[in-house]
Structure 1
Amino acid sequence: MSILFESEYRGERHVGFGKPAAGDSVTLYKVAEDRLRTEFAAGGDPEQIVATVVAGAESVTVAADDPELRLLPPLLPTATGDSLVSGFMRTHRSKFETEPQEGEEFVPPNWFFKGLGNWLRLPGETLVVPSKPVALIEEPEVALVYVNDEEGAPHYAGYTFGNDLCDIGLHLENPGWNPYCKLCDTALTPWLFLGEPPTTVTGRVTVERDGATAWEGGFDCGEDSLYFKVRDMADHLFSFPAVRRPGLVNYVLLGADRASFHDGFRIADGDRVTIDVKSHDVVFSNDIRFGGSVTS
């Protein structure tokens, strides 16, 4: 399965492949800012789309840790308002007393709006939350990426991983406050996996405080761990015209299993959350800041 990423290098948009680590060299292919999104919006095989985009493109090889190389969330548009981050709640089987039955009528899970795509944070960046959260929870999740065509029809591009940090304590005090609960930064990895939504995703979360491990635990967020089928959830979401605006990029979070909060742990200001998606060899960390300043 191919993995691609987009980046800015010396002020211009590029596409690269794989998951280069610090010290590695990486070949970047220069592309127009909207080229990949336009191709994905037209539909077709993702692998062929990428091959078409980079064919004959000007390339340059740089170090993965070159200070002039800035990675981007997958397919992120430059224009504010051209991408949305949202997700589903209470999607995992572990949160239900019964198992789903074949032929059972689909009752959609709750959905939330997280923010605009340019609100997303990348690995290594600080996640800012309100100054006095009730009880934060890290949420390792699969994020699906869709691009709408000129008629508003969504086309699936691939998936990546994220941390949907939120104030679960506020939600538990009053479920009607859930929109406030979600007003915490979300981290997304830049790697776009060009494949169907994954059935198995396993890994481990570590929370560090003052340089030492304060909590750690495992997670499972693949489709096999969900109570709902991914296609059913996606079809229901895209039945609403508001998310089918032509050219819109949708980042759709599929929900998280139990996490540090359920273990009695409470994330504090300055903690570092590391999510190790062992099944996909993806590791990313973010520091948590209470009431910090907001940057674009």
Structure 2
Amino acid sequence: MRLIQILTEGGERAVVATTGPAGAESSAIVPGHRTVYDLARAAIAARSSIEAVVEAAGKGESVDRAALLASGRVLAPIDHPDPAHLLITGTGLTHLGSASARDAMHKTVAAAEETLTDSMKMFRMGIEGGKPAAGKVGVQPEWFYKGDGALLVGPGQPLTAPSFAQDGGEEPEVAGIYIIADDGRPFRIGFALANEFSDHVMERVNYLYLAHSKLRPCSVGPELLVGALPDDVRGRSRILRDDKVIFDEPFLSGEANMSHTLANLEHHHFKYDFFRRPGQVHVHTYGTATLSVAFGIRTEPGDVFEIESEAFGLPLRNALAYAPEESVTVTAL
């Protein structure tokens, strides 16, 4: 099952569920539930699954998801009534990449300890300890904070870099979407495609600038996959300039292509009690091994990022924009 959030022709919020086998899917509005947030809370209250709640609600009006996306009426697949209670975070150095890149990485991490960068040391830690036995805790991954719900951008909306940014680069990823129950228990709602937009030029100046480079918008969607994440997720990451493709490379995700289990990433995020406050929503990106900047691409305003994977239905597209320069003055009280 996949879910999207939309605006109806009358401007009302609605949730659409896509069900059925590949090639014979149908999409219909879920009666009685205006948002995925409400749907998830209803499932928790009923001690049920989201799929069971959707099934019990019945089928409303059938819709054409592609037409809705083209009309600009598809929203991010998750949000929160108060954006400050939606947190966007992520992990890095978690993906092995393609077979050739994987071989190169393994050869590199076998080098003498004194020759390794801090990033490569952390990557090696993940390879050696990121997939513990069931019930065990593995090594913690690199972790970063991106922002709150005010920085969550819907499909088709621009990813706007600040005027002082040195780069606006895509990061094609899978994000886990979570909600915290009233008793503090974290529940995973599902998974979505994500463009974990970053400033890679700034980051390359010094890895200690990573925190600055991540304070950017993030886009997820259009669809939210309910249920298990496929072990081997395959997709494409593209950049279009003036309707011409200037970058087109595969991206891989899923545990078969990662140095950490999802359970390990989730443990090391939710082990902090302030990430388990009732009602919170978390968008947690899992990382990537495919970046256009690594291929020498320098993005420009107006470039369109396109991320797609068959497992997630509709593609995620966002154009690059830059905010106007502004002056910030701190005034003493």
What's the TM-score once normalised by structure 1's chain length?
0.85
Q: Is this contact kept in 2: 1:162–1:188, CA < 8 A?
A: yes
The CA distance in 2 between the partners of 1:117 and 1:40, in whole Å, is 22
Correspondence for 1:45: 49
Q: Using a 3 Å threshold, how does the CA distance of structure 1 residues 30 and 190 change in structure 2: closer, same or farther?
A: farther
Measured after TM superposition, the shift of residue 114 of structure 1 is 1.3
Which has more strand, going by share of residues?
A: 1
Which structure 2 residues correspond to residues 144-159 of structure 1 after superposition, within 5 A?
A: 144-159=176-191
> Alpha carbon RMSD of aligned pairs, Å?
2.8
The answer for the alignment partner of 1:220 in structure 2 is 252
AA matched with 1:27: A
1:94-243 aligned at under 5 Å gives the runs 94=102, 97=109, 99-100=127-128, 106-243=138-275
Contact 1:40 1:147 in 2 (8 A): no
Kept in 1: contact 2:222–2:314 (CA 8 A) = no
Note if 1:283 corresponds to 2:315.
yes
CA contact (8 A) 1:41 1:247 kept: no
Shift of 1:73: 2.1
Moved more, 238-247 or 277-286: 277-286
What's the counterpart of residue 80 of structure 1? Answer: 83
Tell me the secondary structure at the aligned position of residue 38 of structure 1: helix
Q: Quote the Cα distance in structure 1 between the aligned partners of 2:72 and 2:161.
A: 27
Greater helix share, 1 or 2? 2
Question: Residue type matched to 2:14 in 1?
Answer: H
- One-letter code of the match for 1:191? E
What's the offset of the Cα at 1:242?
1.5
- CA offset at residue 103 of structure 1? 5.0
Matched residues, percent identical? 26
Gaps of 5+ in 1: 20-24
Q: Distance in 2 between matches of 1:248 and 1:185?
A: 19
Per-residue Cα deviation, 1:60-88 (whole angstroms, up to 9, x for no partner): 45665469983232232222222111111
What's the offset of the Cα at 1:36? 0.7
In structure 2, the CA distance between the partners of 1:63 and 1:3, relative to structure 1 (3 Å rule), is closer
Q: Is the 8 A contact 1:141 1:254 kept in 2?
A: yes
Counterpart position of 1:17: 17
Separation in 2, partners of 1:199, 1:115: 28
Equivalent pair of 2:234/2:253 in contact (CA under 8 Å): yes
For normalisation by structure 2, the TM-score amounts to 0.76
Larger radius of gyration: 2
The aligned length equals 285
Q: 2:23 matched to 1:3?
A: no
1:140, 1:162 within 8 Å by CA — same for their partners in 2? yes
Task: Quote how far apart the aligned CAs of 1:247 are.
Answer: 0.8
Pair 1:278–1:193, CA change in 2 (3 A) = closer
